[in-house]
Structure 1
Amino acid sequence: MNTQTIAAPADLTEAQRKALAALADRPGSKAAEIALAAGIGGSTAGKALTALEAHNLAYREHGEKVGGRRTADRWYYRPVEADPQDAATDEAETAPDAAAPAPQAAPEAEAPQAAKPATSTRLARGGLRQMVYEHLEAHPGDEVTAPRLAKALGRSAGAVANALVKLTEQGQADLVGESPRRYRLAGQA
């Protein structure tokens, strides 16, 4: 077992907790290797890792195409401390704080015109969701995953995943694939 403390949400299942512990000890492992190390089934490990990715506790490096077949994804543990504010940025209300930089008062700040990475500034409520929607709108036929979109926007994968789920619930995006979860602008069949 890893000697570092692994912070995890209370709502994780036992299988997810086992997978997380195994992943923290074995970065870069395949799902089958995590299953073996955690003492859980292969299918259960795959589902647990996907759930951990949705919680922003893990991320995957997608396998490559070799001879018409794709190699297995490699999984990595994402420590909670790595990005403490961004995971809640999308839904958090921005209350004035003496230690925090003053937020921009202009209403245009909620709908940025350029999709520049802004990792050092806190977005207004709904700002990340707007950035995600604008990206989908600019690339209507593309299918995106939360980690890749997060990298393009310079934000955390968990926060982007939350924004994609909200946009799907609001009918502005469509979930077009489950493993990995892929999204695109609504109505782009």
Structure 2
Amino acid sequence: MAVDTTQAPARERVARALAQRPEGTTAATLVEATGASRPSVSKALTALERDGHARRHRHEPEESERPLPDTWYPTAPASPPDDTAEERPQSAAEPRPCADDDAEPGEEAAAPPAASASDAEPEGAEPQPAVRRTRDGRPVARPGQLRALVAQHLIDYPDSEFTPGEIAKVLSRSAGAVANALEKLTATGEAHRTCDAPRRYQTRPQGE
């Protein structure tokens, strides 16, 4: 394939002709393809080799053969630098825990001892008593606690009357314990019995 010989400089014409022959070619072939003189082609090939755009293969002559001309090959152009590499955000690596500065190489820093239960409690705090429960799993009220709960329930519904069983279901307590609490509230005047059969109770209105 002939190359335009009227406009381009000799080096450019030689470079184009060489690029069209990736299988390799000789200087004589390039002279014919470019129309340039032999010295111009040789000078252009030397410059292209120096700049990394051409590669020369020298044939070692055999004793019984005539020396062969050098074969020239085009070299692949270097890939342009990837400008987007710097713009591409670098994935943030998960930070690793810092090792103890005093630890020996190859050894991991020892984990701090876990805080004991006594360390977690503030000084001077009284230990909380364990919650007692009945056989069916219901918590046992402390002295006076159930009576206060029953009294508060009656106060919350001042216009209603309740049986011990109804209050027991709301408070998740036994009906017998609630009945005893209602009798004590009646004795102290905080509640009064409105019906005997079945027994019903109501909070005592203030002023009575």
Larger relative contact order (Cα-Cα within 8 Å, sequence gap ≥ 6): 1
TM-score using structure 2 length:
0.34
Larger radius of gyration: 2
TM-score using structure 1 length:
0.37
